[in-house]
Amino acid sequence: MRTIACLLLLSLALLAQPKRPVEEFQTKGGVVKITPIRHASLMIEAGGQVVHVDPTSQGNYEGLPAADLILLTDIHGDHLDPKMLTKLSKASTAIFGPEAVAKTVSNLTVIRNGEAKQSGKWGIEAVAAYNIQRGPAPGSVYHEKGRGNGYILTYGGKRFYISGDTEAIPEMRALKDIDVAFISMNLPYTMPPEEAAEGVRAFKPKVVYPYHCRNSDLKAFEKALAGTGIEVRIRDWYY
């Protein structure tokens, strides 16, 4: 009876786990698995490495593995959460992020816009992420140029772009050979879906996911990319 009770409890616990959508991509180095967590947070797994991007307490990390690599894009609380860094880190975890993050994260490896680094089998390029026109007051913007990072991650010959908080800036439009893109879109902090679609049309990834997209009209984004050959995948980042 005790064994049956334990099995029932285990079954209930498994049912209580969030139904996390897992995206899989075949590469020359094996399968890359990407798990949306919440808002700007996601987990990437490949080659025995676990990468967490912008982990925050807003997300449910129950049952997820600790990080071999953590990538941070900006200083705002939905991207930088010291509590979650501690929770997901182990002794060997590497944490990469822009210089502005170093004020909060003492063991940060700084990577600036335009720089490239390697972590295990992952190639990491930091790219610009900033506002051109949107800000809290005239003459200021929510995200200054050079403060935050987007990232291009390369594994097994495939290139994955994570935009960070940005508008459809020239650096985004000039990207090349992107297989999979995660594009932010929410007002007032980044951009509306139509502008996000304009940026995506310029660099033509094979697959694009809207993320960091609370209260955005994702159907408008999808409609704006209809007929381009770019596959739009809409997932629930707020379950």
End-to-end CA distance of the chain: 36
pTM of the model: 0.91
**CATH class, range 20-232:** alpha beta
Mean pLDDT, consecutive 10-residue stretches, the chain (239 aa), reads 47 49 95 97 97 96 96 95 96 97 96 96 97 94 96 98 98 98 96 97 98 95 97 92
pLDDT at 214: 93
Q: Is the peptide bond before 188 cis (omega within 30 degrees of 0)?
A: yes
pLDDT at 77: 87
Where do the structural domains in the chain lie, given as residue ranges? 20-232
Cα–Cα distance for residue pair 202/27, rounded to 1 Å: 24
pLDDT in tens, 79-122: 999 999 999 999 999 999 999 999 999 999 999 999 999 999 99
Cα–Cα distance for residue pair 232/217, rounded to 1 Å: 13
Estimate to the nearest angstrom the gap between the alpha carbon of 173 and the chain centroid: 18
Cα–Cα distance for residue pair 118/49, rounded to 1 Å: 13
User: With contact defined as beta carbons under 8 Å apart, do 190 and 160 qualify?
Assistant: no
Q: Could you tell me which of 168, 174, 175, 127 has the C-alpha nearest to residue 149? A: 127
CA 150-34-230 angle, to 5 degrees, is 70
Helices marked H in the chain: 2-16, 82-88, 170-173, 193-203, 218-224
pLDDT at 3: 55
Q: Could you tell me which of 207, 118, 202, 128 has the C-alpha nearest to residue 164? A: 128
pLDDT at 27: 97
User: With contact defined as beta carbons under 8 Å apart, do 78 and 58 qualify?
Assistant: yes
pLDDT at 65: 96
